[in-house]
Amino acid sequence: MFAGPTTKPRLSRARIAAVLCCGMLGSTGCTVMGGMAADTLSAAILNQNDPEIVSAGLPAYLLIVDGFIIQRPENVGLLAAGAQLFALYGSRFSDTPEHRAVLTEKGRRYGARAICLDYEPACDWAGLDYDDFVAELARVERGQVDVLYAYAVSWLSHLDATSTDWTAVGELPWVQAAMNRLLELDESYDDGGVHVYLGILNSLRPPSLGGQPEIARSHFERAISISSGSDLSAKVEYARRYGRMMFDRELHDRLLNEVLAAPAEAPGRTLFNVLAKRDAEELLASSAAYF
């Protein structure tokens, strides 16, 4: 598996609120009370310290999102949110490879529809060769960052879910190109989430096979800096991807111990920090055997 099940979408509190607000209150816009309710529920999800509650509750929420999209199939915000939500559940909470593939495929379709509606030239991106795709990405502007991020994250999550298919593996450079364009447009988007993904993508192969571990390292360190260390998943991926590939046990164990010592509670990030702590415990438990 080229990216691993922790290549999870990073869903912002604002994005969840947008889904609820647009879906519950209709196309006329969000009222103050509706926006407050949406924001409260989004906070309840992302600030939840019990992932089992989220895992049990999200399937019903996905059905609601599907319903909203059926009602408003050209709502870019709903499609971008649906892309990330299905990618999130498929990549992090689904139990079987088959289910992961189904869920993330839907997320990918939603992401592609969202960017097509928001940026018409993207409707013709499917099937482009790499150089033409990169040239097209160069024309994307900062106003499309939100939908381009949803498009790239949902695509990567689906490739991860189908990574035994060599066709999927072959698409990775295209996803990396999209992430690189996001970096050019706004490196701090989602508190440096783009850097985490680029760190992973640049550490999929060892140096002997063309990997670029030092570029990966710089991305992980930049992600940690942008979030001021509050995004614990950045340190876990740094240890998992770079530390293990370079057989740097000192760095590996230091990063993971920092994760375990840090508080999980952080606005909009508690859920993923709890999951990061679980991953850190597992990685540390296998450290001696690995190194």
Q: Do residues 7 and 200 lie in contact, with contact meaning Cβ atoms separated by under 8 Å? A: yes
| Alpha carbons 190 and 84: distance in angstroms, whole number | 13
The share of the chain scoring above pLDDT 90, in percent, equals 55
241 token code pair = 């991807």
Mean pLDDT of 189-216: 89
Q: Would you state the pLDDT for residue 35?
A: 38
Q: Do residues 31 and 256 lie in contact, with contact meaning Cβ atoms separated by under 8 Å? A: no
Mean pLDDT of 222-232: 95
| Alpha carbons 201 and 32: distance in angstroms, whole number | 41
| Alpha carbons 280 and 203: distance in angstroms, whole number | 18
Count other Cβ atoms within 10 Å, centred on residue 236.
28
231 token code pair = 């995004």
Q: Would you state the pLDDT for residue 9?
A: 52
143 token code pair = 């106003």
Which residue matches tokens 């295209």? 174
- Domains in the chain, CATH or no CATH each: 1-174 (1.25.40.920), 187-291 (1.25.40.920)
- pTM confidence score: 0.85
Q: Would you state the pLDDT for residue 236?
A: 96
Checking if the pLDDT of 172 tops 80, the result is: yes
Per residue in 75-125, pLDDT (tens digit) is 888 898 889 889 888 888 888 989 999 999 999 999 999 999 999 999 999
Per residue in 19-74, pLDDT (tens digit) is 444 444 443 444 333 334 444 555 667 777 888 887 888 888 888 888 888 988 99
Checking if the pLDDT of 215 tops 50, the result is: yes
Q: Would you state the pLDDT for residue 20?
A: 44
Q: Would you state the pLDDT for residue 187?
A: 95
